[in-house]
Structure 1
Amino acid sequence: MTLVSITTRNIKSNFKSYWSYFLSLSFSIFSVYLFMSILYSKYIQDELGEMKKFMILFNIGAVMIIMFSAFFIWYSNSFFVKSRKKEFATYMLLGMSKNQVARVNFYENTFITLAALITGISLGLIFSKFFIMLLFYMIKTSAVVPFQWNIRAIIQSLKIFVVIYIVISLHGSIIVRKSSLIDLFNASKKVEKGLKVSAITLLFAVVSIVCLYFGYSMAIKQLGSNLLKAPIVVLLVVVGTILFFTSATTFLIYANKKNEKSLFKGTKLISTSQLYFRYRGNVGTLSIIAISITVALCALVTCVGSYTKTEENSRYMRPFSIEYFRTKDENKTFNSILDKHKEVSVKFSDSIDIVKVTAKDPLVNKDSGFYVIGESEFNKLSKQQKLDRRANLKDENDCYFIQLQSFATNEAALNKVVNINIKDKSYNLKVTASDIKPFLALDHFTQTFVVKDNVYDSIKLNSDEANISKLDGYMLEDDFKAESFINDLSKNLPKESGMVTFYEHYKDGLKLLGMMAFIGLFIGALFIMATGSIIYFKMVMEAREDKEKFITLSKIGVSNKEIKTAVAKELGLLFGAPFVVAFANSLPATIALSKMLSLKLMNSFLIIVSIYALIYCIYYFVTLNTYTKVVRDSNLSD
């Protein structure tokens, strides 16, 4: 019998041993191919038009998916090789050399990888159209998507997985060649040492809580207004998470085992003992999973939350439906085109004069250009835009400062004095209030001072005509019926008018944020499948290793129901702890993101967490049933 025939017989007769690894490999190939087919789809690039430059987002997403898939396959392969060690030892006992056993492992890996490539790419071909249609739906595009053979995506996927295949094949071969016969036989009989707790463990447990507390506190109070704090917050949360699993949870399990009053109630002794002897080997996995889920939740909240708030964000950046600088006869052109579009009606309009001045920036203390607007005009605009802000200037020299900040108001500007010199007049303005929301879309990268009306009139009177900008803003009854109207305006208004519209910003934002949300959902799904599978593989492996323990428990009268209850408690901690910690990590991050982006993201966060929890519960029950089935079968065979 040849080595190839031995390999094929093994796979055919005992495919359930290969099933988990085959599925994880197929899923990874399916995910990578799908993303590659989107990345190289000419239909998507044609539909995005000028926005196709943002396809770089898919390049970044592809790199992340490839890296995570490689890690996931490596992890799955490690479990697969470990589960086969005893069988490899049997082959060696029957006379095979290490070289021959390594070749059997190589052939197995080759056949499984080939089958997974065929399965993954076939599924990718079947579902690629659906996922492209989903992307088009998210960016509100009605283009027809035909079925396509994306040869470039297939070739790229094959290149990636050939490299991964070579690496894991070498890894498996090295393990077989370096392991002795006794090591291979005893791979599943490794004695786990119980948890050790000392004063240092308690100290690190306290440090973990302190790190997490300060990380959460800094995220909630400071991160929203100061992005430079992000590295500190990330470091505190990551260190706190790792120490929580290595020390705090260890201490709690140890204390629970030492509590003899409750230890002997029901099946607690079994579940606690299992955790006591098994937890040390799971610390690294749980820490990685908790951090991975945190990253996935934060990415999903940012991408999906921003996508659901596209209209709100566009309204923030484009307070009027249409704005332009009045340079010639723009108003006449506007009204002429408006008369032709009966589907469009104007709710209100404003003509605004703003004055361009030069002064020292109260934040960076260097000369810069600013706009100046009167208090009554600013308050009228705020009222029309249904904002709760008002400039309540008490003294003649007070001013309200509209900053150019990405996330939150920099309060360092408050009480600073700004000196404006125009010809022979000097104005010393004191900043008494400030915020960052633009009240105009045109040239909103210029910061603005809101001053008393008489001060504004004086500044305007003494300024050159060239420094006075005249703007017109229109609010439409329904922006989403104005596409044709806006297209006509764009063709007929002069370029120097610099027209900007809410609808165009909304469409572009929908494409950009839709792509980000799609990538976030895709990567989030991959993360949850991978992290859930990692726990599943690890626990099924432990179930096989612990067969003899459960056989002994059955012999002394412990029922299968009681064993299942004990296992359920153990799995509850291993599945629940990373998720709860990730939830705790993500909540302050969501609060900070809400402040940064000026968006209400909490509802999106709760929905995403609920979906994540539901999927994790499914993984929990699947793992529990598989674990108890392994235990039950071992009892029956005995």
Structure 2
Amino acid sequence: MTLFSIARKNIRKNFTNYFLYMASMIFSIVIYFTFVSLKYDDAIQASTDSSTKISSAFNGAAVVLMIFVAVFIWYSNSFFTKKRKKEVGLYSLLGVRKKQIGQMLFYENFIMGIIALIIGIVLGTLLSKFFVTLLMKIMGYEAMGNFVISPAAIINTIVVFIIITAITSIHGYRLIYRFKLIELFKAEQEGEKEPKASFLIAVFSIILLGIGYWLALQNLLESNAWRTLGFAVTPIVILITVILGTYLLFSTLTVYLLKVLRKNKKHFWHGINLISISQLLYRMKGNARTLTIIAVLSATTLSAVGAAYSFYYNNRSNAEIANPNSMMFITKDSHIADQVKERVSQDKSHKIVYHETIPTLNIDVDITNLNSKMSADQVEYSVIDNKTYNKLIKLQKRNDSLSLKGNEAAVLDAGYFEGLSPKYVGSTVSLKVNDSSKNITFKTLKKFNVLNLYTANTTLVVSNELFSKLANETNLVNIEAYKITNEDDAKILTKDIQSLLPEEAYFSNFYSNYAQGMESSGLIIFMGGFLGLVFLAATGSIIYFKQLTEANIDKERYEILHKIGVNKKEVKKSIARQILFIFALPLIAGIAHSIVALTALSRLMQTNLVIPVFICIGIYVCIYIAYYFLTVNTYYKIVTKSDKQ
């Protein structure tokens, strides 16, 4: 019997142990193949206006995915090799040379890699239409994907994964030479010394995490800590403190808490808590690095996917903030305005909700007194009167109104940013009209718009009497505003109106902003979602592999427990608690890290990310729970396989 046939037989007989490893590889190959093939898809290139950017984005995502999958396969392969120390030792005892054992393990890994590659490419090809359609749908396009086979994507995927498989197989081959025969047979006794726990280091881990969290949640513009450390150095300090704090949390604080729990005699001697607590205690130090990696990866995944989904989730509201009116333009030619009105009125897909001609003044304002960090001392504002503001507010269905008198004014600044934007309320500024100046005092600040941003500047609302005086001294500009139904599906109407208007009309519209946002945020959520799933599958698999390794080591111990009368129900309960501890630690830490990161992001962007973030966390936790139950059941089957009961 050749080494190749023995390797093939081993895979067939141990397929249950290899299944999740192969499934994770297949899933990774499907996603990588999808990313590579999407950039060649004709439907995407024909439908989108930024096909070059999409191609570049998928190239970048594919590189990230390739590196991560390579690390994951390397890590998993190391687990499988170490798990089979006893088997390798038996081969050595029977006279099989290490070179031949290494070749056999090389063949096993390479066979699994080739099988995963073939299945992954076939599945990726079959699912190509679905993935293209999904991407187009997320990006807001109606084009349907076609069933296509991309030879370039197939060749790219084959080359990349054969190289990855070859490298990991060679790594497994070399790993054999690192073990002596006595080490192979005494693998179970390795790393079984009771770890030491320092109360001071345990407290230090909490302090490190506290420092990282505190720095992350600081206001970047007003924080003395950020200014002192520097805007380039502070993020690095945050990363170091959080990662080091997480490692010390797992390696020291958890050990300390387990030792405290062990001193609680009532709990420690209840049922078989003795076994589960002891096993966790003795292995916690060895698991700390793995759990830290998983916690950091979970935090990165949740933060990236949460941020990506929040952009997609808030796309409509962001477009509405910039464009409270469906369409807006400055009109100087009444004939063109009539043409636009006729085109909008005749469109069968859209009905006019309202159409208003808004008298506006464009006035230079001296804002030196406002201490703005974002603009010059003199800016141009769009000025409307109190009556027009109240009318637009009612049409736009906002529950608000103003009652301004004399030289009182209100400012509408949807992009207001605390610490950077001008300090409006209570301040006085000077309006420059021809050769004279008129002072106004800001009574209130409204953090929304009634005029579209591209057509109008930051808007000032003044009293009706002041507006009349200003209108007599400067030129009045009429702005046409339309609100239509189905404004998110107005591509044809928008293009037609754009062709009617000159460039100086400063045409702005809801559809263009909405469509661009859907395209960019849809692409981000598509890539972020799939990369997140790969990361999740990898992290869950790493814990699964680790627990399977420990299950084989613990098998004899559970057999002894069964012989002294411990029933299977108690055994499964102990296993469930033990594995829950291992799964919960990195998950809770990862969620905590991501919530802090996303809270900092929401403050920076001044948007509410609560709903999209909790949706992402919910999905992540559900998949993690599925991994948990799979691990518990597999662990239980391994340790009770030879039981007679």
Structure-2-length-normalised TM-score: 0.88
Structure 2 regions of 5+ residues with no counterpart?
A: none
- Superposed CA deviations along residues 138-162 of structure 1, whole A, max 9, x for unmatched, are 2343323221111111122122223
Greater shift, 100-109 or 443-452, is seen at 443-452
Deviation at 1:43, TM superposition (A): 1.9
Question: Are 1:266 and 2:276 an aligned pair?
Answer: no
Deviation at 1:276, TM superposition (A): 0.6
1:323 alignment partner, SS class: strand
Deviation at 1:539, TM superposition (A): 0.3
Aligned to 2:316: 311
Aligned to 2:535: 527
| C-alpha RMSD of the superposition | 3.3
Matched-pair contact (CA < 8 Å) for 1:290–1:581: yes
Aligned to 1:10: 10
Matched residue type, 1:357:
D
Question: Are 1:354 and 2:364 an aligned pair?
Answer: no
Aligned to 1:30: 30
Matched residue type, 2:26:
S
- Superposed CA deviations along residues 158-190 of structure 1, whole A, max 9, x for unmatched, are 222233223213322321223222223333431
Aligned to 1:81: 81
Aligned to 1:539: 547
Greater shift, 496-505 or 280-289, is seen at 496-505
1:413 alignment partner, SS class: coil
Question: Are 1:244 and 2:249 an aligned pair?
Answer: yes
In structure 2, how many angstroms separate the alpha carbons of the residues matched to 1:170 and 1:343? Answer: 63
Deviation at 1:630, TM superposition (A): 0.7
Q: Residues 435 and 398 (structure 1 numbering): CA distance in 2 closer, same or farther, change over 3 Å?
A: closer
- Superposed CA deviations along residues 440-490 of structure 1, whole A, max 9, x for unmatched, are 324269444444555555555544x4xx65321111244256444334323
Matched residue type, 1:587:
I
Q: Residues 590 and 387 (structure 1 numbering): CA distance in 2 closer, same or farther, change over 3 Å?
A: farther
1:207 alignment partner, SS class: helix
Deviation at 1:634, TM superposition (A): 4.5
Question: Are 1:502 and 2:510 an aligned pair?
Answer: yes
Aligned to 1:174: 174
In structure 2, how many angstroms separate the alpha carbons of the residues matched to 1:607 and 1:272? Answer: 34
Matched-pair contact (CA < 8 Å) for 2:312–2:525: yes
Aligned to 2:214: 214
Greater shift, 199-208 or 429-438, is seen at 429-438
- Superposed CA deviations along residues 91-120 of structure 1, whole A, max 9, x for unmatched, are 222223333322222222222221121111
Matched-pair contact (CA < 8 Å) for 1:327–1:496: no
Deviation at 1:59, TM superposition (A): 3.1
Deviation at 1:616, TM superposition (A): 1.5
Q: Residues 285 and 368 (structure 1 numbering): CA distance in 2 closer, same or farther, change over 3 Å?
A: farther
In structure 2, how many angstroms separate the alpha carbons of the residues matched to 1:285 and 1:16? Answer: 23
Which of 299, 302, 306 is the aligned partner of 2:304?
299
Q: Residues 398 and 358 (structure 1 numbering): CA distance in 2 closer, same or farther, change over 3 Å?
A: closer
Which of 549, 559, 562 is the aligned partner of 2:557?
549
Matched residue type, 1:193:
K
1:373 alignment partner, SS class: strand
Matched-pair contact (CA < 8 Å) for 1:356–1:469: no
Matched residue type, 2:570:
E
Matched-pair contact (CA < 8 Å) for 1:417–1:431: yes
Greater shift, 490-499 or 149-158, is seen at 490-499
Q: Residues 338 and 22 (structure 1 numbering): CA distance in 2 closer, same or farther, change over 3 Å?
A: closer
Aligned to 2:133: 133
Aligned to 1:608: 616
Which of 311, 332, 338 is the aligned partner of 1:332?
338
Matched-pair contact (CA < 8 Å) for 1:350–1:473: yes
Deviation at 1:592, TM superposition (A): 4.8
**% of aligned pairs identical?**
32
1:131 alignment partner, SS class: helix
Aligned to 1:624: 632
Q: Residues 152 and 586 (structure 1 numbering): CA distance in 2 closer, same or farther, change over 3 Å?
A: same
In structure 1, how many angstroms separate the alpha carbons of the residues matched to 2:405 and 2:249? Answer: 53
Q: Residues 194 and 99 (structure 1 numbering): CA distance in 2 closer, same or farther, change over 3 Å?
A: same
Greater shift, 384-393 or 138-147, is seen at 384-393
* Count of residue pairs brought into register by the alignment: 631
Q: Residues 108 and 504 (structure 1 numbering): CA distance in 2 closer, same or farther, change over 3 Å?
A: same
Matched residue type, 1:345:
K
Q: Within 5 Å, give how 1:506-517 maps onto structure 2.
A: 506-517=514-525
Q: Residues 372 and 343 (structure 1 numbering): CA distance in 2 closer, same or farther, change over 3 Å?
A: closer
Aligned to 1:371: 381
Matched-pair contact (CA < 8 Å) for 2:91–2:101: yes
Aligned to 1:384: 395
Which of 490, 499, 514 is the aligned partner of 2:498?
490
In structure 1, how many angstroms separate the alpha carbons of the residues matched to 2:316 and 2:523? Answer: 16
- Superposed CA deviations along residues 574-606 of structure 1, whole A, max 9, x for unmatched, are 112222233333334445555555554433333
Q: Within 5 Å, give how 1:115-134 maps onto structure 2.
A: 115-134=115-134
2:271 alignment partner, SS class: coil
Aligned to 2:480: 472
Deviation at 1:80, TM superposition (A): 1.4
In structure 1, how many angstroms separate the alpha carbons of the residues matched to 2:594 and 2:578? Answer: 25
Greater shift, 446-455 or 367-376, is seen at 446-455
Aligned to 1:400: 411
Matched-pair contact (CA < 8 Å) for 2:44–2:51: no
Matched-pair contact (CA < 8 Å) for 1:215–1:236: no
2:355 alignment partner, SS class: strand
2:437 alignment partner, SS class: strand
Question: Are 1:568 and 2:576 an aligned pair?
Answer: yes
Q: Residues 612 and 404 (structure 1 numbering): CA distance in 2 closer, same or farther, change over 3 Å?
A: closer
1:370 alignment partner, SS class: strand
Aligned to 1:92: 92
Aligned to 1:285: 290
Q: Within 5 Å, give how 1:29-68 maps onto structure 2.
A: 29-50=29-50, 52-68=52-68
In structure 2, how many angstroms separate the alpha carbons of the residues matched to 1:105 and 1:120? Answer: 22
Q: Residues 594 and 264 (structure 1 numbering): CA distance in 2 closer, same or farther, change over 3 Å?
A: same
Matched-pair contact (CA < 8 Å) for 1:195–1:254: no
Deviation at 1:433, TM superposition (A): 4.5
Matched residue type, 1:504:
S
Deviation at 1:129, TM superposition (A): 1.7
Matched-pair contact (CA < 8 Å) for 1:590–1:602: no
- Superposed CA deviations along residues 525-583 of structure 1, whole A, max 9, x for unmatched, are 21221111111111011111122222232233222221211111111111122222333
Greater shift, 559-568 or 57-66, is seen at 57-66
1:149 alignment partner, SS class: coil
In structure 1, how many angstroms separate the alpha carbons of the residues matched to 2:467 and 2:241? Answer: 49
Aligned to 2:347: 341
Greater shift, 160-169 or 432-441, is seen at 432-441
Q: Residues 412 and 318 (structure 1 numbering): CA distance in 2 closer, same or farther, change over 3 Å?
A: closer
1:546 alignment partner, SS class: helix
- Superposed CA deviations along residues 227-265 of structure 1, whole A, max 9, x for unmatched, are 979837666654544443233333222211122232111
- Superposed CA deviations along residues 276-310 of structure 1, whole A, max 9, x for unmatched, are 11111111222222222222222222222332333
In structure 2, how many angstroms separate the alpha carbons of the residues matched to 1:592 and 1:394? Answer: 40
Q: Residues 72 and 47 (structure 1 numbering): CA distance in 2 closer, same or farther, change over 3 Å?
A: same
In structure 1, how many angstroms separate the alpha carbons of the residues matched to 2:220 and 2:569? Answer: 45
Q: Residues 234 and 319 (structure 1 numbering): CA distance in 2 closer, same or farther, change over 3 Å?
A: farther
- Superposed CA deviations along residues 613-638 of structure 1, whole A, max 9, x for unmatched, are 2222211111001101110025459x
In structure 2, how many angstroms separate the alpha carbons of the residues matched to 1:572 and 1:83? Answer: 22
Which of 412, 417, 423 is the aligned partner of 1:413?
423
1:294 alignment partner, SS class: helix
Greater shift, 478-487 or 626-635, is seen at 478-487
In structure 1, how many angstroms separate the alpha carbons of the residues matched to 2:460 and 2:469? Answer: 14
Matched residue type, 1:105:
L
Q: Residues 339 and 8 (structure 1 numbering): CA distance in 2 closer, same or farther, change over 3 Å?
A: closer
In structure 2, how many angstroms separate the alpha carbons of the residues matched to 1:295 and 1:206? Answer: 20
Deviation at 1:366, TM superposition (A): 3.4
